[in-house]
Amino acid sequence: MAGGARGKGGDGSYPPICRWWLITVMPGLVPGIHVLARSPEKGAWMAGTSPAMTTRRHLVKSIPIAAIAMAITIISPAHAQSLPGGFVYLRDIDPSIIQDIRYATSNNFVGRPLAGYGAGECVVKREVGLRLKAVQQELAAQNLSLKMFDCYRPARASLDMVKWSQNGHETAAERRYNPNIPKTELFRLGYIASRSQHSTGAALDLTLVDLKADNSAKYDPSKTYADCTAPVAMRAPEGSVDMGTGYDCTDAKGHTAVTSINPEQRTWRKRLVAAMARQGFVNYSKEWWHFSLPGAGGAAYDFPIQPRIR
């Protein structure tokens, strides 16, 4: 079995992690903003007429109106949606693209949400999002849709995967994703790594949905499913076309051009690869679900994925 390193972990060839200084540090450098945001009892500040007015209240009263306006702007929900590094919520670019961000749920190989996935939202570089929209428009004419499994991945999530791979025990549910490789080997073989191309915003995990099909079957954590290489009816449902394996299947059967799948499954893979390629996306040969846009990446990021507010 050949080792892949991009879906679950990454290939470790990316620059050091960047910090989202503006959001995580800047408020700490502006004490007034923290006070305004976190101390409801200080609501009396604005009255400014009490005979018991303290020195602090005098100080606050002297803060220019513009500074207060800036603080309110920074803590307002709309401003909290600003993302660093040219990242955007895919839903803001194309709400018709289906999203099932598995690492924000327990329905993944780790069995719980990963660190940094505070919301099931696909976050992408704007250029990547615009190209996905173009792919989606072409697919819509064929009654198909993209379905996103993973997009931007906070660097801390990759470290969480590494920690998980070394935690010394393995459940049957976890083993569904790597039926032929012990969990303890995943890190050594490079399937899980501490850095991921996903953290640069250039990589995506996705599949196709046939909008004419019945996609209503939902994953049930109380059920026992066959592993990711089993026939589709026995695998955990993913609400998408049958690509021959489930998502994140660490197995030779997950290699895009493998011949041990049926013609219909091969055709679906080819349709996905061709549709993505028309917008410049390149598939990773060992994972039918992993694509990247050459040139779209850069530094890796670690800002957490937070709920989109609109």
**Interaction site with Zn ion (CB under 5 A):** 7, 205, 290
Distance in Å, CB of 290 to Zn ion, minimum? 4
Q: Which amino acid is at 252?
A: A
CB of 236 to Zn ion, least distance (A): 18
> Which CB, 33 or 146, lies closer to Zn ion?
146
Return the number of the residue (60 or 158) whose C-beta is nearest Zn ion: 158
- Nearest approach in angstroms of CB 92 to Zn ion is 22
Report, in Å, the least distance between residue 33 CB and Zn ion: 37
144: Cβ contacts below 8 Å, ≥ 6 apart: 208, 209, 210, 211, 271
Residue 205 or 227: the one with the smaller Cβ distance to Zn ion is 205
> CA 4, CA 190: separation in Å to the nearest integer?
6
Q: Which is nearer to Zn ion, 7 or 129 (CB)?
A: 7
Residue 212 CA to residue 51 CA, distance in Å, equals: 71
Q: How far is 44 from 42, CA to CA, in rounded Å?
A: 5
**Would you say 88 or 157 has its CB closer to Zn ion?**
157
- State the minimum distance, in angstroms, from the CB of residue 205 to Zn ion: 4
Distance CA 25, CA 287 (A): 37
CB of 40 to Zn ion, least distance (A): 43
- Least CB distance from residue 198 to Zn ion, whole Å? 6
CA distance to 4, 166, 175, 221, per residue, from 9 (Å): 9, 14, 17, 24
Closest CB to Zn ion: residue number: 290
- Cβ(256)–Cβ(287) below 8 Å: yes
The tokens describing 167, both together, are 């935690």
Least distance in angstroms from the C-beta of 150 to Zn ion: 6
CB of 203 to Zn ion, least distance (A): 5
Closest to Zn ion by CB, 7 vs 244, is: 7
7 vs 116, beta carbon nearer Zn ion? 7
- Closest by alpha carbon to 292, among 279, 305, 310? 279
Cα(first)–Cα(last) distance of the chain, in Å? 45
The nearer residue to Zn ion, 102 or 235, going by C-beta atoms, is 102
Closer residue to Zn ion in complex, CB, 8/235: 8
